[in-house]
Structure 1
Amino acid sequence: MKANIKSKPTIFMIFGGTGDLAERKLIPALYHLFLDSYMPKEFAIIGLGRTDYNDDSFKKLLLGGINKFSRSGKAEKDKWEDFSKHITYLKSDVNNEADYKKMSSLIDGFEKEWSETPIIIHYLAVAPNFFPIIASNLAKVKLADDCDRTRIVIEKPFGHDLQSAKELNVLLKGIFAENQIYRIDHYLGKETVQNMLAFRFANALFEPIWNRNYIEHVQISVTEDIGVEDRGGYYDGSGALRDMVQNHILQVLCLVAMEPPVNFDAEEIRNRKVDVLRAMRQFGPDEIRFNTVRGQYSEGWVKGEKVEGYRDEEGVDPESNTETFAALKFFIDNWRWQNVPFYVRTGKRMHQKASIISIQFKDVPHLIFPNQSSESWQQNRLIISIQPEMSIRLQVQAKRPGLDMTLNPVDMVFNYDGTYENETPEAYETLLLDAMKGDQTLFMRGDQVETAWDLIMPVLESWESKKSISFPNYSADSWGPETAEALIAKDGFHWFTMPIKKADKK
């Protein structure tokens, strides 16, 4: 999706410029785009925040973030100096309309200096309750009017439920055109997730068997070995279903299940993803009971250290009903996927940090080999690992070397580290570059967000209305509650876990 081209002059207005997201992700991403010559000759990064910084102290903060979180390590002095010349800090309050006029004056100054109209990207790296305030004030000072050059980037969560998502969409669309709104999900910027499009639609090998006739079931697992850390207060009002399933996991599911697009146009691809969500079977009361599982972690031992249970974490209600684990079975009611189950799970304090898509194919219709030849028989499986390693594995049966006809599973592996020498860019690098170029392929459209919320609302409402009497129901460093195993085992399957020897990357 990237092309080594020079973008138009660009101004990044980062609301929440002194916050954690800017320090850990946004500035390091922009810095690497600069190092790799993707940034235009004229660009400016304007950090906005209430902290009493000046340009120098703000740059010092950002340099510390790059040195700590950059994928290439500490910044080289001369390269940092070249990059930091483009950074400005403006102390501002998002509630104060006068401060937006200062922003407008600053933008006008750069426009006169460059003698060219720049692209303006308003990046909202702030709490969701500030989204409407910022958008409304941008409109008041006419910083949202130009549909061709002005863009707004909205971080997740986009709404707390279906109603709030609709209200936010209405507000934003009253100020911006849809082609100006970039609803970001950093998961879609990950290299392996993007490779799903290439893998499916650039190869004739898989499309004929990518359907219910050959695929038995699909699993998507996004597991974390950490707890809620310092996000207890936020997480207790969110939970696993909102935090991961409604956005990250459903986005990945759409890439697995979507129909072939006519072309690589952003709207065409987003249309196909919405089609998947609209075809997904809604949950009725019985479906919620039999096809969903929730869990909450208790205390336990992780790497030799005792860790607290969720209800003992800072900021968490001691009687919390919030789930830290969710597993669901989805069905897609269309010709391609009818009656093929899609199992998804996500959880905190799990045994392993991993994001894996497992596609299991149906067994051969007739086994010609004697039983003793195939004791380790395993159905063909396609495994797409997003993290900690980035790889695509096709598991097939092959003859073991020797005089006997003995079969065993073998992996045909495409691994990024073993194939490419170039360092893989971070997800935010891809997404920020696409925002500069005006490419919305990897960003969510308004109707897609609302359809995803509509799908999970029955589950959310059911879980919130009924206090779980089993919480906590799984220990730290486990694979989740036993009922999650039962969810998939009753269909004759088991959750796939792939031993990954490679150390986790942050």
Structure 2
Amino acid sequence: MTSQTTVKTLLILGASGDLTGRLLLPGLARLVARDRATGLQLVGAGSDPWTPDQWLERVESAFADANSQADAAGKRELKRISETTSYRELDVTADGQLAALLGQLEAPVAVYFALPPHISQEACAVLTAAELPAGTRLVMEKPFGSSEESARHLNQTLGALVPEDHIHRVDHFLGKATVLNILGLRFANTFLEPVWNRNHIEKVEIIFDEDLALEGRARYYDGAGALRDMIQSHLLQIMALLAMEAPATLDERDLRDAVAVALRASSIKAPYAKNSRRARYTAGTLDGRKVPDYAKEKGVDESRNTETLAEVQVDIDNWRWQGVPFILRSGKALGGTRKEAVVTFRPVPHLPKGFTGVDSPNQLRIGFGPDTLQFDVDVNGPGNVLSLDRATLTAELSASDLLPYGEVLEGVLMGDPLLSVRADTAEDCWRILDPVIKAWNRDSVPLEEYAAGTAGPEGWPA
């Protein structure tokens, strides 16, 4: 059973890094301002020799927006955290340093590894279970490993330190509201379930296209690329939610079991030149500003052949989805932003002669950030009742009052791993993509090009 012990201390490793200042601390601030985290001690640690004033300036700057919108209780709590927070300089990979710091903190402690993955793994490798305060939670950022084998090794390292339900593998992309919106749509509507299968659905597309370029993230992104950065860690999770069987409850065990079953049935089949594509942007224009060739961006190693646009076709070999392609695509520096799942239904088996007009299949589109729902249906058009017209039913779905990292931190602090990626799931996501990565490394799949600001390479569907 999942422990519900409330965390007393949040220790952020990599506290001087970009992730902490840009996402973690603002997420925490909104959580505190909403009176959903009280009595917490915040400690930052990093390799940079920061003074207390430098750390305090970062905290107060990140808290400013939430503080301006908080009620009196929220303002008091944000002020208390600012007045009691501290920063420690340390090398997390050195024997004894991290363990010594943990021994000084009030338990239970949540240790947030806002660090490059290989540093996080080294830090965990020098710890022992006996050195961790009771109830310690370990929070790991994506990517979780770099292959199925490395993910399994990291799982073994973490499992020797704390129980599985005390390990939070962060997927900030999939917020609680988004998860529940998908599940509510799927399992609360009688008219959908009978047609949610291979007999009525032609294909499912999950697309996350951005109009942003590298934006100074070469240090991380050039070692990952679109396939690892988005498809492996985020889009496969959305796919599993759309494809899974109905869980008995929304308890984390039932829900994560259902996700795991869907992923275990999933694979990308050879030939990989047919079922996967990759491309990289060249110089172009985004929103009126010139963007350099990706290979010439600062910090990029051109020899890595890192892709900025990736697409794969996943097959789910079970009764419900046999023969239905799930197409997952994500890219950067594209002409527009598109963040949605599109379910395309099969055409009607027979349309009575005499009708004219729209003959394309019905589609259900679920938008992400903000979460929206659009359902395309064919209806008799105005004027000529024999002419069919396409109408779109739209709805806005529930939104969270927290920032994405606020939702992540709430789960960590309250001991709820619902939004965390489970160990077996983390390994399975790599198992699905490992053959594609190996094929790309052999150059079995060509690296195509597209100009920044366009829809992608010529011949790719927009």
What TM-score do the two structures reach when normalised by structure 2?
Answer: 0.91
- Letter paired with 1:328: V
Residue correspondences, number: 456
Distance change in 2, residues 1:73/1:205 (3 Å): farther
Structure 2 equivalent of residue 224 of structure 1: 210
Higher relative contact order (CA 8 A, sep 6+): 2
Q: SS of 2:111's equivalent?
A: strand
Match of 1:341 among 314, 317, 325: 325
Deviates more, 1:97-106 or 1:443-452: 97-106
**2:65 equivalent to 1:89:** no
Runs of 4+ in 1 over 6 A off after TM superposition: 71-77
Structure 1 equivalent of residue 455 of structure 2: 479
User: Identity of counterpart residues, as a percentage?
Assistant: 33
- Letter paired with 1:395: D
**2:237 equivalent to 1:239:** no
Deviation per residue, 1:230-262 (Å, 9 max, x gap): 222432222211111111111110000011112
- Letter paired with 2:417: Q
Structure 1 equivalent of residue 46 of structure 2: 49
Q: SS of 1:466's equivalent?
A: coil
- Letter paired with 1:427: P
Match of 2:393 among 396, 406, 412: 412
Structure 1 equivalent of residue 288 of structure 2: 304
Q: Is the 8 A contact 2:448 2:457 kept in 1?
A: no
Structure 1 equivalent of residue 165 of structure 2: 179
Structure 2 equivalent of residue 490 of structure 1: none
**Coordinate RMSD, CA, aligned:** 2.5
Aligned equivalents of 1:467, 1:59: Cα separation in 2: 51
Structure 1 equivalent of residue 200 of structure 2: 214
Question: 1:354 deviation in Å?
Answer: 2.5
Match of 1:11 among 1, 9, 12: 9
Q: SS of 2:217's equivalent?
A: helix
Q: Is the 8 A contact 1:192 1:391 kept in 2?
A: no
**2:357 equivalent to 1:375:** yes
**2:183 equivalent to 1:201:** no
Match of 2:307 among 323, 345, 352: 323
Structure 2 equivalent of residue 143 of structure 1: 132
Aligned equivalents of 1:224, 1:403: Cα separation in 2: 41
Question: 1:328 deviation in Å?
Answer: 1.4
Question: 1:294 deviation in Å?
Answer: 1.0
Deviation per residue, 1:233-292 (Å, 9 max, x gap): 4322222111111111111100000111122221221121111122123423x2x12111
Aligned equivalents of 1:467, 1:292: Cα separation in 2: 10
Aligned equivalents of 1:72, 1:223: Cα separation in 2: 33
Q: Is the 8 A contact 2:278 2:307 kept in 1?
A: yes
Distance change in 2, residues 1:248/1:181 (3 Å): same
Structure 2 equivalent of residue 106 of structure 1: 104
Stretches of structure 2 lacking an aligned partner (at least 5 in a row): none
Distance change in 2, residues 1:170/1:8 (3 Å): closer
Q: SS of 2:189's equivalent?
A: coil
Aligned equivalents of 1:476, 1:196: Cα separation in 2: 32
Structure 2 equivalent of residue 38 of structure 1: 36
Q: SS of 2:455's equivalent?
A: coil
Q: Is the 8 A contact 1:221 1:355 kept in 2?
A: yes
Structure 2 equivalent of residue 22 of structure 1: 20
What TM-score do the two structures reach when normalised by structure 1?
Answer: 0.84
Output aligned runs, 1:58-69, within 5 Å: 58-67=55-64
Match of 2:344 among 360, 371, 381: 360
Question: 1:76 deviation in Å?
Answer: 9.0
- Letter paired with 2:201: I
**2:114 equivalent to 1:125:** yes
Deviates more, 1:198-207 or 1:73-82: 73-82
Distance change in 2, residues 1:452/1:10 (3 Å): same
